[in-house]
Amino acid sequence: MFAEIFSFFYQFADVFAFLILSAAGLAIVFGMMGVINMAHGEFIMCGAYVTVGLVHAGFPLPLAQLCGTLAAGLIGVAVEWSLVRKLYKRPLDSLLATWGLSLIVTQGMLLVFGSTLTGVGTPEGSFVVGDYTFSVYRMVLFAAAVAVLGGIYFIFMRTRFGVHARATMQNASIAQATGVRVGRVYALSFGIGAALAGLCGALYAPTMTLIPTMGAAFLVEAFVTVVVGGANVLLGTAPAGILLAVIRTGLNGWGGQIVGQIGMLLAVIVVIRILPEGVSGWLARKTR
Amino acid sequence: MKLSHALFSLGCTMVLATAATAALAAEPLKVGLMEDVSGDLAVLGKPKLNGSQLAVEEINKAGGILGRQIELIHLDPQGDNARYQEFTRRLLSKDKVDVLIGGITSASREAIRPIVDRTQTPYFYTNQYEGGVCDANMISMGAVPEQQFSTLIPYMVEKFGKKVYVVAADYNFGQISAEWNRTILKDVGGTVVGEEFIPLGVSQFAQTIQNIQKAKPDWLLMLNVGAAQDSFFEQAAAAKLNLPMGSSVKVMLGFEHKRFAPPALNRMHATANWFEEIDTPAANEFKKRWHAKFPNEPYINDMGYNAYNALYMYKTMVEKAKSTKLADIRKVIAAGEACIEAAEGKVCIDPKSQHASHEMRLIAVDEKHNVKVLKDYGTIQPYWLGQIGCDLTKKNDRKQYTPSDLPKKL
């Protein structure tokens, strides 16, 4: 009995981690800043490729993952400065520009690094509960997802930068009038979003096939979670992750992966029909 | 003045006409190739393009086919079936190719087939697949279930046990291959304790791994397809699933044993007509030529090897038929004369089904990811279609048959 309950929790944790880690970066870039970032998957791929490249070069995995995260963040700042900055008031154009960027990056990686990279193997061992064996690393991913949510909360609610960022997203002109350096806030926020995407790639790199288009595997889940979550990252992403993970885990267990996938997409349709502003919009109204 | 002018133009016309006739005689033979070198299947498709390029280069250097050089027209459909159809139409009607080669998944093949079937163009499908296509336009170069499953499944049942869990990609390849597994298992007394069909693009397998542990199978039949679904192996290894596995597509097609860190592919078994570890003089000579041209190729996979053979098979057929017409080529096939000396051994096209015979070997991967040959089955004919009544020497069929969908009368 305990084994069954634990296995459900494990499955839930696994789906939850995948949704949250996929979505965390996008929640900032798309949810808060309103940039429809179609290159989100490519930041994830960047994190994964840097991580695996450094492990092959002899770095220990955690350090390589840190470097993968930072690399994606730095590239994010550069992309914001060179491309996205001009498009804040033109969300549909930001969609086109980042989509183009995503196509160029995937094809470029294919040309430069070939169609696949050799994997690095999943670290840590496994543990046994009842009839089942579980991978320890999947639990590490769950812990990382919780830590990421905590980290976002801390940065945006407890730091000076967080106050400036929230002010800027709400009303950039007034924020600027009160002395906030809006340009820098935008660049940093986008950079944090890209770094979180890179972190997702870095964390999943040891568990997946590495191909230039691997970001696509995360993109749908990321957008779904952010859309269900709504504009407010702090209120929306976590509850959306929990809601979708429970639905998906239940359906996966009951009817297999296809039913899980269909069920999750149906759930999204229902949620945005009932709550057009997402979970966070609804929570904000409730608490007002 | 007028006369000389007229003579001059006449002279010019004659020179041009002669030049045109000469050009016509040496006009290149157009080969239309569709291989995915980007997208989810690029890992598999790149060796196919390379194999075709190598064969074309060699054949052209040796004087071409019937004195005509080959012009390779490659288009990259990026794994998109709609694009496969668009490119098929373009190659057939605009480029007017003499022969069409390509397609990776069974879905892409079934997208191409109806379009080619309306023409008199031969189409070479170069992959191993779930079998059953009886089509006058199609020549199949890869291995089929009677060569792969009829050898693999009885071996796995005898060696590891009767209980099988199937993980398959959810489209025609996975579904029909799973049906083959059920049919063959019935004959050898095995049972399916679980069957799971996964949508393409799914990369997370925690639930599947747990379902497998719950069902307690003796071994797994892995029919997962594409880079995303290959993530299963890494995740299963991390969860210490450690079951023997069998497959008709792993190792020799996707070289997962090269792409994943050991021991993710430990205990994987497959029956293959080609794998790069094959160690015969002919195979080693072939590998040397390939690696000289493509030094960065991580692995010469089964599809790339078959794609290479397809051009030589086409060359043999055209030279024996002394024509590029489908009807003449089919006469050569019907006479049983379409054979080539390939790196695996002699490969012949079966007259009834237009599928290739193959030297089949059972291979297994150990925990250090070395590939061992466990058994050599010798040449296996593609007999199944002929047995159930497909006979392309007598009737122009266009259908794909499966164990549950046989021709009406035997």
CA B224, CA A77: separation in Å to the nearest integer? 38
Shortest CB distance from B238 goes to which of A114, A118, A135? A135
H/E segment holding residue A263: helix A233-274
Tokens of A95: 């969609």
- Kindly state whether A31 is in contact with chain B, defined as any CB-CB distance less than 8 angstroms: no
Q: Is the pLDDT of residue B409 over 70?
A: no
Q: Which of B37, B203, B240 minimises the CB distance to A126? A: B240
Measure the CA angle with vertex B409, ends B403 and B410; round to 5°. 70
pLDDT of residue A235: 80
Residues, chain A, total?
Answer: 288
The ipTM, to two decimals, is: 0.88
Are A11 and B296 an interchain contact pair (Cβ–Cβ within 8 Å)? no
Strands B163-169 and B138-140 turn out to be: unpaired
- Please write the tens of the pLDDT for every residue from A80-121: 999 999 998 888 899 999 999 999 999 999 989 888 888 888
What is the sign, positive or negative, of the torsion defined by CA atoms of B289, B293, B294, B295?
positive
The SS3 of residue A245 is helix
CB contact under 8 Å between B42 and A110, yes or no, is yes
| Residues of chain B numbered 288-307 and touching chain A (CB < 8 Å) | 296, 298
Q: With a cut of 90, say whether residue B16 has pLDDT above it.
A: no
The share of chain B scoring above pLDDT 70, in percent, equals: 93
- pLDDT (tens digit per residue) in B198-218: 998 899 999 999 999 999 999
Q: Give buried/exposed letters for B37-61 (b at 16+ CB in 10 A, else e).
A: bbbbbbbbbbbbbbbbbbbbeebbe
Give ∠ CA A110-A211-A78 in degrees, rounded to 5. 65
At B386 the three-state DSSP class reads helix
Q: What is the pLDDT of residues B36-76, one digit of tens each?
A: 998 878 888 999 999 999 999 999 999 999 999 999 999 99
Nearest CA in chain A to B170: A258
**φ, ψ dihedrals at B277, nearest 5°:** -75, -5
* Cis peptide bond N-terminal to A123, omega within 30: no
CA distance A218 to B27: 49
Closest CA–CA distance from residue B235 to any residue of chain A (Å): 6
Question: What would the pLDDT profile of B226-266 be if each residue is shown by its tens digit?
Answer: 888 999 999 999 999 999 999 999 999 999 999 999 999 99
Q: Would you call A102 an interface residue with chain B, using a CB distance cutoff of 8 Å?
A: no
Judged by a CB distance cut-off of 8 A, whether residue B106 touches chain A is: no
Cβ of B46 and A114 within 8 Å? yes
- For the segment B340-359, the average pLDDT, to the nearest whole number, is 96
Q: What is the arithmetic mean of pLDDT over A246-264?
A: 90
pLDDT digit string (tens) for B111-143?
A: 999 999 999 999 999 999 999 999 999 999 999
Give which of B106, B246, B111, B236 is closest to B190, Cα–Cα: B246
- Is residue B22 scored above 70 in pLDDT? no
Q: How far is B260 from chain A (nearest CA, A)?
A: 5
Determine the pLDDT at residue A91. 86
Please give the pLDDT value at position B3: 53
Region A193-199: mean pLDDT is 97
Residue closest to B365 by CA, chosen among B284, B244, B280, B213: B244
Least confident range from A131-140, B16-25, B161-170: namely: B16-25
| Residue B1's pLDDT band (cuts 50, 70, 90) | very low
At B359-395, the pLDDT tens digits run 999 999 999 999 999 999 999 999 999 999 999 999 9
B334 touches chain A (CB under 8 A): no
Strands of A88-173 (E only): list them. 126-129, 132-135
Q: Is A122–B37 a contact, with Cβ atoms under 8 angstroms apart?
A: no
CB contact under 8 A, B239 and A135: yes
| Dihedral sign (CA B326, B328, B331, B333) | negative
- pLDDT above 70 (res B24): no
- Which residues of A fall within a CB distance of 8 Å from B259? 116, 118-119, 209
In B253-292, DSSP assigns E strands to 268-272
Residue pair B377/B361 in contact (Cβ under 8 Å)? The answer is: yes
Torsion of CA A152, A154, A158, A162, to 10 degrees: -20
Residue B223 is predicted with a pLDDT of 97
Residues B364, B353 contacting (CB under 8 angstroms): no
Q: Are B193 and B217 in contact (CB under 8 A)?
A: yes
The pTM of this model reads 0.88
Supply φ then ψ for residue A124, to 5 degrees: 65, 175
Mean pLDDT of chain B: 92
The string of DSSP letters for A75-109 reads HHHHHHHHTGGGGTT-HHHHHHHHHHHHHHHHHHH
8 Å CB contact of B204 and A18: yes
Residue A256 pLDDT: 85
A134, A206, A261 member nearest B239 (Cβ): A134
Q: Is A31 exposed, middle or buried (0-12, 13-18, 19+ CB in 10 A)?
A: buried
| B241 Cβ under 8 Å from any chain A Cβ | yes
Q: Measuring CA to CA, how many Å separate B181 from each of A152, B16, B150?
A: 50, 63, 9
Largest CA distance in chain B: 99
* Three-state SS at B101: strand
- The pLDDT of B63-90, averaged and rounded, is 96
Q: Please give the C-alpha separations between residue B186 and each of B154, B160, B183, B190, in angstroms, as whole numbers.
A: 10, 16, 5, 6
Q: How far apart are the first and last CA of chain B?
A: 79
* pLDDT for residue B227: 86
Cross-chain residue pair B206–A14, CB shorter than 8 Å: yes
State the smallest CA–CA distance between residue A42 and chain B in angstroms.
14
A114 inside 8 A of chain B by CB: yes
Between residues 131 and 170 of chain A, which touch chain B (CB distance below 8 Å)? 131-138
β-partners of residue B198 are B169
DSSP-derived 3-state class of residue B166: strand
